[in-house]
Amino acid sequence: MDRRSFTVVIAAVILRLVLFTAFPSLPNLLTNRVELSTPVTSFKRLQEGLFLYTHGLSPYDGGVFHQAPLLLAFFTTLPSNPIVVYLVYILSDVLSAYSLIQIATSGVSVSTPYHTSSRKSSTWPPWAVAVAFLFNPFSIATCIARPTIVFTNTAILTAIAKGVKGHGIAAVLALAMASYLSLYPVLLLPPMVLLAYDSLPAAKKVGRSLGSFAAVLTAVFTVAAAGLGALSWGITGGSWEFLASTYGVHLLLPDLTPNVGLWWYFFIEMFDSFREFFLCVFQLHLAVYLAGLCLRLRKQPLFVITTLLGISSIFKSYPSIGDTALYLSLLSLYRHIFPLMRYTFFVTSTLLYATLLGPAFYYLWIYAGSGNANFFYAITLVWSLAVTVLVSDAIFAVLRDEWETERPEMKGKEIVQI
């Protein structure tokens, strides 16, 4: 880590410490925000689970706690001092920033064995990528609110940082941890395998096919996930009850607490006879992009991972602003495609619009009583629209960059669909 990156990290740590200590009511205020905390990541629900766990009761009995057992084991070892908890979340953000710095330093976003962008000189330096993450208001708010999505994001970024170095086993182990915490990162396994394989030194690829490499990493991922499951079984006193309460909640959506996603209101209005069908449709909708992105963007597996995280931040069952913050931080690695994006002003304006009006509409619905659920759902639709346009526009820009790199004579010319 160079001096500028180190300075950025120290400044970010100081900012977070000031917010935690100078405004003692701010963490609890943000913890209660549905935009930042969901039923599967809420720090308040984690505290309830810890209370039950430390008093010899199963935290998974009441239908309130939906987080991984390892989080219970970890937080019970911490002192009761809230400063220690604050430092844990700050450290997690620092580790995420360090991983981003490693990813940016590798240059994989602009140069892979199959593609080197003609705009590679336009990328941001590693310290600027760290700034884009550490000083993003969404990242700061997520850290202060203390949802457990912070740990999932750290595990995902660690996996990517290991992948760009060709450390495939370490990458899938970190990805297994992310999947254990939040389920949906399992969709990143295929592009992660491609990323790790492409990043191997040429000498290590000799006599090593992609198929055999993928088989080994898939086996390691499966064993790691099974090991985490067995460890969780031991933590919960020999019970598999946690499976339905953690991963089943992601899949079956029993808790319809409002969030920034698309599911909650849709299934509130859904007739019970159609619920199972649309649950399958919504879950498959997340997975359906995987094969197409891996095939079409085979030359850039890191961008496939970035895009899948963007799609997940829109269409997963319990999304939060922390998911979007992770996508935006990875997108900052692709500074060279920003001039090719067509809807930057629209996306920026719409995100600001939704960010400012979301809390207001939620207040009108829940506290003032002068609105209804449509108020808040309408603004979450605006938020999802903005992120959707951003994801699709980034895909367009990357494909345009590939095309212009392969055909330099077409640089700057308009594309006409026939």
Is a pLDDT exceeding 90 seen at residue 1?
no
CB 4 within 8 A of CB 127: yes
413 SS3 class: coil
Q: How many CB atoms lie within 10 A of CB 330?
A: 25
Rg (CA), the chain: 21
Lowest model confidence (mean pLDDT) among 7-16, 61-70, 140-149: 61-70
CB 97 within 8 A of CB 9: yes
Q: Does residue 413 lie in a domain region?
A: no
Q: Does residue 48 lie in a domain region?
A: yes
Mean pLDDT of 11-33: 94
pLDDT, the chain, mean: 93
Confidence class for position 413, pLDDT limits 50, 70, 90: confident
CB 115 within 8 A of CB 299: yes
Q: Does residue 414 lie in a domain region?
A: no
The pLDDT, as a whole number, for residue 61 is 87
The pLDDT, as a whole number, for residue 77 is 92
Lowest model confidence (mean pLDDT) among 119-123, 223-227, 387-391: 119-123
**Who wins on pLDDT, 418 or 85?**
85
116 SS3 class: strand
The pLDDT, as a whole number, for residue 180 is 96
> Is 159 exposed, middle or buried, given 0-12, 13-18 or 19+ CB atoms closer than 10 A?
buried
Q: Does residue 417 lie in a domain region?
A: no
Is a pLDDT exceeding 90 seen at residue 207?
no
* pLDDT above 90 coverage of the chain, percent: 82
Helices (H), 183-252: 189-198, 202-205, 210-235, 241-252
Question: What residues form DSSP beta bridges with 112?
Answer: 115
The CB-based long-range contact list for 286-292 (8 Å cut-off, 24+ gap) reads 286/184, 286/187, 286/311, 286/312, 286/315, 286/316, 287/187, 290/187, 290/190
Q: How many CB atoms lie within 10 A of CB 182?
A: 27
Is a pLDDT exceeding 90 seen at residue 373?
no
Is a pLDDT exceeding 80 seen at residue 206?
no
Is a pLDDT exceeding 90 seen at residue 332?
yes
The pLDDT, as a whole number, for residue 172 is 96
> Is 274 exposed, middle or buried, given 0-12, 13-18 or 19+ CB atoms closer than 10 A?
exposed
Is a pLDDT exceeding 80 seen at residue 415?
no
Structure tokens at 166: 């060709």
DSSP 330-363: HHGGGGGGGGG-S-HHHHHHHHHHHHHHHHHHHH
Q: Does residue 144 lie in a domain region?
A: yes
Lowest model confidence (mean pLDDT) among 143-157, 198-212, 339-353: 198-212
Residue 98 has phi, psi (to 5 degrees) of -60, -40
Confidence class for position 45, pLDDT limits 50, 70, 90: very high
Is a pLDDT exceeding 80 seen at residue 411?
no
Cα dihedral sign, 281-283-285-289: negative
* Structural domain that includes position 128: 3-407
* pLDDT above 70 coverage of the chain, percent: 99
The pLDDT, as a whole number, for residue 418 is 63
In order of 197, 233, 364, the CA distances from 208 in angstroms are 10, 36, 60
Is a pLDDT exceeding 80 seen at residue 85?
yes
Confidence class for position 412, pLDDT limits 50, 70, 90: confident
Confidence class for position 407, pLDDT limits 50, 70, 90: confident
The pLDDT, as a whole number, for residue 370 is 81
- pTM, rounded to two decimals: 0.95
The pLDDT, as a whole number, for residue 405 is 85
Mean pLDDT of 232-249: 91
Query: Domain tally for the chain?
Result: 1
Confidence class for position 304, pLDDT limits 50, 70, 90: very high
Q: Does residue 412 lie in a domain region?
A: no
Mean pLDDT of 300-322: 95
Distance separating alpha carbons of residues 359 and 365, to the nearest angstrom: 10
Distance separating alpha carbons of residues 307 and 317, to the nearest angstrom: 17
Question: What residues form DSSP beta bridges with 115?
Answer: 112
Q: Does residue 91 lie in a domain region?
A: yes
Report the range out of 207-211, 273-277, 390-394 with the highest average pLDDT.
390-394
Q: Does residue 418 lie in a domain region?
A: no
The pLDDT, as a whole number, for residue 174 is 97
CB 17 within 8 A of CB 98: no
In order of 74, 138, 153, 385, the CA distances from 260 in angstroms are 28, 13, 18, 11
Identify the CA nearest to 138 among candidates 397, 335, 358, 362: 358
Confidence class for position 40, pLDDT limits 50, 70, 90: very high
Identify the CA nearest to 286 among candidates 269, 266, 268, 309: 309
CB 354 within 8 A of CB 389: no
Is a pLDDT exceeding 80 seen at residue 343?
yes
Mean pLDDT of 79-83: 89
